Amino acid sequence: PGHDLAGVLPLRTQADADALLKATQDAKQVVIVGSSFIGMEAASSLIAEGRAVRVIAQEKVPFARVLGPEIGAMFQQLHEEKGVKFEVEAEVTALLGDAGRVTGVRLQSGKTLPADVVVLGVGVRPATDFLQEAFALDQDGGLTVDEYLQAADNVYVGGDIARVPLAATGQLARIEHWRVAQQHGRTAARNMLGQREQLTAAPFFWTQQYGKSLRYAGHAAQWDTIMYYGEVAQQDFLALYVQAGRIVAAAAMGRDADMIYIAELLGTGQMPAPADISAATKWVDLVG
């Protein structure tokens, strides 16, 4: 309840971002629901002198499920140093209001946080209802395609809605990232022109918070271990995610050049075995 109160804002489009900046100009208490990329990036933009920003996180450590607890803790600390506060392992049960305007957020624990603006950084869903008569949609509204991004004769699908077999592992994944949508667009266009090209590019995304950029290549829904090189706490590191004895994804800060080669190795299936990697590995030399 309360999602339709004035001061409760989504963040999906440029217009949403403009409305949010306007609404927060005089805001003293901002609560952000969701601690994934949208919520955390919004927090890094909205924290300001004289304004309290609180992030409500379902998990114990933000980003732990995607990047691992060490990198998540580093981001949380970065935010806390700038003054952002976290409510972790928390669930919102209601948005409270007065005279049609939001005044606070109630958590399952019974705690109430005061708010004059609430940002909803949760709950993005594919807008694919219009396809449901023609296709068997996945439970989350996505559409599964083959490695050519083809869903049916003369129908190709790419971007956020596409559930695609990943070249590196064969696993199906629906990934909501900008570069991935561009990669899909290229491959789908070539195939529509009759080229029969498989999607091999490794998924890639970045996030920027307080001017610090993390880059991620590949896809690891789960992992057995993470191999770290450098210092996570210093925001200068490479993390390699190992699943069933293979490196399936990498995250890094301050190693942009290496990440270009790592993304290529992941996409082309040339990534060496974990035992063949060390701090001295020259990634550029591994690309054939």
- For ligand FAD, the binding residues (CB under 6 A) are 11-12, 38, 127, 130, 159-160, 176-179, 181, 205-207
Alpha carbon distance 36, 34 (integer Å): 6
Q: Closest by alpha carbon to 255, among 278, 237, 228?
A: 237
Shortest distance (Å) from residue 149 CB to ligand FAD? 12
Shortest distance (Å) from residue 180 CB to ligand FAD? 7
Nearer Cβ to ligand FAD, position 201 or 242? 201
Nearer Cβ to ligand FAD, position 127 or 152? 127
Nearer Cβ to ligand FAD, position 23 or 277? 23
Nearer Cβ to ligand FAD, position 97 or 203? 203
Alpha carbon distance 42, 119 (integer Å): 8
Shortest distance (Å) from residue 82 CB to ligand FAD? 19
Shortest distance (Å) from residue 288 CB to ligand FAD? 27
Query: In the structure encoding, which two tokens stand for residue 144, read together?
Result: 């599964």
Shortest distance (Å) from residue 16 CB to ligand FAD? 7
Alpha carbon distance 165, 150 (integer Å): 11
Is the Cβ–Cβ distance between 264 and 200 less than 8 Å?
A: no
* Cα–Cα separations (whole angstroms), residue 241 to 8, 62, 78, 135, 179: 37, 18, 23, 34, 20
Shortest distance (Å) from residue 124 CB to ligand FAD? 6
Nearer Cβ to ligand FAD, position 242 or 259? 259
* Cα–Cα separations (whole angstroms), residue 212 to 65, 241, 257: 20, 21, 16
Shortest distance (Å) from residue 258 CB to ligand FAD? 19
Nearer Cβ to ligand FAD, position 160 or 264? 160
Nearer Cβ to ligand FAD, position 160 or 258? 160
Shortest distance (Å) from residue 142 CB to ligand FAD? 11
Residue nearest to ligand FAD (CB): 159
Nearer Cβ to ligand FAD, position 107 or 131? 131
Is the Cβ–Cβ distance between 23 and 15 less than 8 Å?
A: no
